[in-house]
Each structure stands twice: as structure tokens, then as C-alpha cells.
Amino acid sequence: MGEIRLDAATKVYANGVRAVDSVELTIADGEFMVLVGPSGCGKSTLLRMIAGLEHVTEGRILIGDTDVTSMQPRLRDIAMVFQDYALYPQMTVRENLGFALKLRRVPKQQREARVVEVAKILGLDETLLDRKPGLLSGGQRQRVAMGRAVVRQPAAFLMDEPLSNLDAKLRAQTRGEIKRLQRTVNTTTVYVTHDQVEAMTMGDRIAVMSDGRIEQVGAPDTVYSRPANTFVAAFIGSPAMALVEMSRAEGDTFARGGLRFPLGDIAASLPEEIVVGVRPELCRLWADGADLVGPFDGTIDYVESLGRETFIGVTVEGDAGFVIEAEGSLRATIGETVSFGVARRGIHLFDGGTRAAIATL
């Protein structure tokens, strides 16, 4: 059984830095869990704690029914895939794939059969098996690194930013291959990345981390549509959600200078200070204003034309930033003024003090 359970897992370094702070997390058998967050948030440290490469200061780690907190890495029945592939340059692909089985004294015939089986799963052509890593492309080396983990049939895979050395096109392709492979072998996987696009497209669930703590755990769609707080709201989504601090004005309206948002019946139950969150898909150029709050006038800061859509970054009232999503390729000039509105349905509201989510309209 490959379930992984973190029970108040904590890592404090000798200098007093609390890299991982009392993390509670259960990863189901066969689940693909992604740990995502900015650099320094503790995600790689947490992965290394699961692997046994970092000492656990407090709490417990269980794999299946076994408490592995103090167990040596080689006894934990896990396989790691690293950012730098960590292949043996003097060995062929065949030898790299079969090395762990050789150490376990698996008979040669059985070992060879397993290597060929894994190579087929990974799409590694027979002609590649007798090449050394230096003669392979980055994507092929990454597949070999994956294969070396798969061939062992461990209880869990631990992957530490394995795609960061690949170019954008190959990274997108390999994301799909890793997900397909995980589905094929049905092995519990913990995947670390700082790339929220990887997290959203690969994970069955994602755990968003900040300052050694888990801010929110859930399915990608849930975390995107129902962020627990302003940190998650700003981190998940590209372009990021606009977050604007506002204060109660008259009636059902909250305002920041001339920027005014009528919030309807929910306004009465809100605190005096809130943060209004607006994703780019809710911001539209002003036409007739149908079903939009506005119009608001913003100064264009930047324009990102992606062909089928254009993102326009604007500033309102001097420091309130929004991103407008427009269909197709749009000509706009930095510094000019543009009018836009915000869709009424989908606005996120957060407490101005705690930054915790209150509601989504």
C-alpha cells in the first residue's frame, strides 16, 4: 500500500529556521499529489523528509502502515526523480534502467525483461537502450530517469522539479507523458514544482505551500475557483488574480477612491475592510456594459498579445491593478486610457484583516 501520511511533520534547522511547519497531509494510494509554491516555501524540504534525506524534527511520516520517520532512505521503498536526472554517464540506458534491480540481485533474464517492458511504457526505442546518456536529448534523459524509478516498482515516486531543465515545448509534452505513466503504473506520486501550470495540469490534488505551511489542499479546479486566501488566489492562475483592498461606502457599495463595487445583498454581512479579487476572464473592455460592473478607466501598463487572446494590464486609481482579457489580437498602446467592466458573477471576496476567503459571488 502506497498511502503517505504526514502527521505534524516539522523541520527546524540548527540556525532556527522553521523550513516545514507542522504539516498535516494524507496522500492516497495511487494519487498524484503536487506540492507547489514559490522558492523557499519548504516544498523540496518536505519531499526530502518523505524520502529520508532530511531529518524530521517533530511529527511523523508513514508510508502505508509503516512509520518511516527514523528509517533509512534505502529501506523506505520509494524512488526519486531529480531535476538533474542523476544518470550514470558511463553506463548505457539499459544498464541505467537495470542498475537498481542488479543491486537487488534480480536474475539477469528477469531483469532484462523488466527493462524492456519499462522502456516500451516510456516510449524508449530499442535502439536507444545501448546508448549512453551523453548521446540522448534532454527529453530522452528525463524518460530514462523516470524509467529507473519505475523499474523498481516502489510504493511511491518522489519527483523534485524534474522538468525544470527542459525547454518550454518539451516540458509541455513531458508533462503529459509523466501523467500517462503514473496512470499506467498507478503508483503514489509526490511531485514538487514552483510552476503553477504544471500543478494545475498534472495533479489529482495540489497542496499550495507558503513559509513552510500548507495554505490549501484540493483538486486543481477547486483551488482555482475557491482559493482559501489571498496568497492562494494570487499564486494560482496566470495571469494572476487582481487583488484590490476596499472599504465600506454607502449602501451595498465598497470603494477605493473613485473605484466603486456594488456587491448586492451580501454586502451587509461583510466586514468594513475587504479585498476584492478579480480574475482576468472577468475583466472585459467596456461596450454597452451589459452584466458588467463599471465602467472603470485604467491606464495601460502592458499588453501581451497571444494570438487568440490579448491580456491588457491596467492601473486604476493610481495603484489598483487589473488584467483585462480580450479575444483575438488587439492593438493597444502603453500609457493610454481604456474603459473596462467586471462581470458580476465570479468576483472573490476576502477579509481585509485575515486575508481569508469570505465568499465568491
d(CA 199, CA 353): 29
CATH annotation of 4-229: 3.40.50.300
What are φ and ψ of residue 295, in 5° steps?
-80, 155
What's the pLDDT score for residue 246?
92
Mean pLDDT of 312-320: 86
What's the pLDDT score for residue 83?
74
Q: What is the pTM of this model?
A: 0.87
Domain 239-360 of CATH type 1.20.200.10 = no
Average pLDDT, the chain: 89
For residue 310, what is the enclosing H or E element? Answer: strand 309-316
What's the pLDDT score for residue 3?
92
What's the pLDDT score for residue 203?
93
Residue 115 has pLDDT above 90, yes or no: no
For residue 209, what is the enclosing H or E element? Answer: strand 205-210
What are φ and ψ of residue 153, in 5° steps?
55, 55
Please tell me what DSSP assigns to residue 133: G
Q: Would you give the end-to-end CA distance of the chain in angstroms?
A: 42
Mean pLDDT of 189-195: 93
Q: Give the model confidence (pLDDT) of 79-100 as tens digits.
A: 888 877 778 889 888 888 888 8
Please tell me what DSSP assigns to residue 28: -
Count Cα neighbours of 299 within 13 Å in the Cβ-side half-sphere: 8
Q: What residue segments make up the domains of the chain, in order of their start? A: 4-229, 239-360
User: Which position has the grid cell 516540458?
Assistant: 171
309 pLDDT band (50/70/90 cuts)?
confident
Cβ atoms of 183 and 176 within 8 Å: the answer is no
**Are domains 4-229 and 239-360 of this chain identical in fold?**
no
Residue 290 has pLDDT above 70, yes or no: no
